[in-house]
Structure 1
Amino acid sequence: MSALLTVKDLRTEFLTRDGVLPAVADVSFDLKRGEVLGLVGESGSGKSVTGFSIMGLVDAPGKIAGGSIVFDGQELVGADEETLRRLRGRRIAMIFQDPMMTLNPVLTVETQMIETVLAHESVSRAVARARCVEVLGKVGIASPSERLGQYPHQFSGGMRQRVAIAIAMLHKPDLIIADEPTTALDVTVQGQILYEMQQLVSQSGTALIWITHDLAVVAGLADKIAVMYAGRIVEQGPADDVLSNPTHPYTRGLLDSVPATTTPGQRLRQIPGSTPSIMQLGAGCAFEARCTRATSACSLMPDMVTIGSRSTRCWNPIVQQPSTASTESVA
């Protein structure tokens, strides 16, 4: 099966008073229909900017400075706004971390959902409303017909996020980009939404990019994982392999810092130091100052190399037997 989405050498920059900030650099991955990619990393690693770049939502002073984004055979980098507008919502949808970035507080949910349908399809309002009721029911909102007439403030945080997911599902898009949509929700609601997204992917063949800093979430959701650090992907491959036997020291550090993988009574392991400013990155590996495996070779930026089933950006990758930090223990 050919890839639905192919991102190649993507570079997204922001012009600031202090110079050019390369928020995303040399990012490459592909995604097939029905696949789930977990895009993982700390805050500021470039995950969300990657998603916005795919959607064509990078506004000035930001711009896509290089690379290619091919969606179903169509190049999106350099595409005109009308082309992107036709794709957004209908074939590519995005779920934001804050549902109020999707919902207008002064309009009823019914108005917002129906207008979303009518923006891309010539159907009657009755047909559009029936679809809205159906989709709200699929995301677990009880009495969807009655709740359509309510305003966003009349819903709880979890219910607002369900509405935002329902809006993303209205046109059964080929690709959904979910930008940490469950971060602010309690564990029970989070689990319900993850289940609903899994059902959507399995039943409709929708491809999903799940952006998160939470490895426990992607452990049970993603088919593939791409780990980002300081604007670059440092490791990617099948989820089970990346989580059970990581090759990049940063991925290893992320896994070691998960409480579930720490022996009770022992101190929680952590990555030393802090994420560097992207504005101040040198020519070498951005993780060098925090890495216990760093050598003189790390003064130069490594290329992505293939190790087994995955690729990694490291001069001194971890090559060993699978660790005890398995997918099950992370989850």
Structure 2
Amino acid sequence: MTAPDIDNAVPTLEVRHLRTHFETRAGVLPAVDDVSFTVPRGRILGLVGESGSGKSVTGFSIMGLVDPPGRIAGGEILFQGRELTRMRPAELRQLQGNRIAMIFQDPMMTLNPVMRVDAQMIEAVRAHSPASHKQARELARDTLGMMGIPSPEERLRAYPHQLSGGMRQRVAIAIAMLHRPDLIIADEPTTALDVTIQAQILSEVQKLARLHGTALIWITHDLSVVAGLADEVAVMYAGRIVEQGPVDAVLDHPLHPYTAGLIGSLPSLNQRGQRLRQIPGMTPNLLTMPPGCAFAARCPRVSGACVQAPAITSPQALRQVRCFHPGQPAIAAEFA
């Protein structure tokens, strides 16, 4: 099963000024507000931020899975140059699960509880391929083995409730990888897995990106996962990307104070016996966003300029930041 010929000059995914809003009784909630990024073929983007920052809604928007009262209010989502938001539902379904796949945090969003694993995987293969029943079953078995699942033949005959939570998640990841899609969006899929299995899965998806040219968006709050997996990282806060760039550059020398605070709060960076550093305050309510910079109330660098909303700038090559005072001060001095 091979992917169609792709123009390597065209990025697998381009998101331009995406806005996703939810209509509520209290008003319009801008869950994703002016988000832009590009994921070239074979590259991995880590999308990082606290709960409620808009990471998952961004992923659902790309997949076309935002249901009312949510809606894509503006922007473009280009998959291999094709605008997804203007596609007919039938066209979009041909891409979903085949050329574009999503791995959910809850595996039961993928698995049918009343169908055996083999039936679900064979159905997923044959929905987008002329493979025979035997060929589809062999592909399903081999993909389970690739995910480190022991006795894959036995697991194929099981129902989801007969598997552990970690095993169900690995099956869900295997289903997403069946067709070697051009784009995978992974929404914190390894959170419930032990570190050994997590490392194995991260290695496999990294290999998939390199060998098959799959573009990958890995949505997570875990900076240590992003550090070892991603090529680029985009940090989200209150529905917006506040910093973006090569993963090593961003994690070694954060420009935005929010990124610095996230890195500084990692237990591994705090000295033994000292209090953990943390970002003061709370994420603002998206329904009643303050004017100006959304991070201003929690920011140690706040100034009079921050009453205006900062635009994205590029103070360094390959780096983007949404801040009036980008820099690399000592993290401990900012968030003591």
Normalised-by-shorter TM-score class: over 0.9
In the alignment, residue 38 of structure 2 is paired with which amino acid? D
Alignment partner, residue 159 of structure 1:
167
Q: Percent identity?
A: 64
Q: Which moved more, 1:266-275 or 1:186-195?
A: 186-195
Deviations 1:84-134 (A, max 9, x none): 100000000000001111111110001100111111122221111111111
DSSP 3-state at the match of 1:263: coil
What is the Cα deviation at residue 319 of structure 1? 4.2
Alignment size in residue pairs: 323
TM-score, normalization by structure 1: 0.95
Following the alignment from structure 1 to structure 2, what is the Cα–Cα distance between the partners of residues 306 and 218? 22
Deviations 1:284-318 (A, max 9, x none): 11000000101111111100000213100001112
Q: For structure 2, which runs of at least 5 residues remain unmatched after alignment?
A: 1-8
In the alignment, residue 256 of structure 1 is paired with which amino acid? G
- Residue 309 of structure 2 is aligned to residue 262 of structure 1: no
- Residue 186 of structure 2 is aligned to residue 178 of structure 1: yes
Alignment partner, residue 247 of structure 2:
239
Following the alignment from structure 2 to structure 1, what is the Cα–Cα distance between the partners of residues 177 and 328? 41
Following the alignment from structure 1 to structure 2, what is the Cα–Cα distance between the partners of residues 185 and 138? 16
DSSP 3-state at the match of 1:54: helix
What is the Cα deviation at residue 187 of structure 1? 2.1
TM-score, normalization by structure 2: 0.93
What is the Cα deviation at residue 78 of structure 1? 2.4
In the alignment, residue 158 of structure 1 is paired with which amino acid? G
The question of whether the paired residues in 2 share the 8 Å contact of 1:245 and 1:323 is answered with no
DSSP 3-state at the match of 1:307: coil
1:114-263 matches, within 5 Å, as 114-263=122-271
What is the Cα deviation at residue 276 of structure 1? 0.8
1:84-99 matches, within 5 Å, as 84-99=92-107
Following the alignment from structure 1 to structure 2, what is the Cα–Cα distance between the partners of residues 161 and 199? 19
- Residue 122 of structure 2 is aligned to residue 110 of structure 1: no
Following the alignment from structure 2 to structure 1, what is the Cα–Cα distance between the partners of residues 198 and 15? 29
- Residue 319 of structure 2 is aligned to residue 310 of structure 1: yes
DSSP 3-state at the match of 1:294: coil
- Residue 292 of structure 2 is aligned to residue 284 of structure 1: yes
The question of whether the paired residues in 2 share the 8 Å contact of 1:244 and 1:323 is answered with no
Alignment partner, residue 329 of structure 1:
none
Deviations 1:192-227 (A, max 9, x none): 221222222222221110000010110100000000
Alignment partner, residue 3 of structure 2:
none
The RMSD of aligned alpha carbons is 1.3
What is the Cα deviation at residue 323 of structure 1? 7.7
Following the alignment from structure 1 to structure 2, what is the Cα–Cα distance between the partners of residues 159 and 195? 17
What is the Cα deviation at residue 263 of structure 1? 1.4
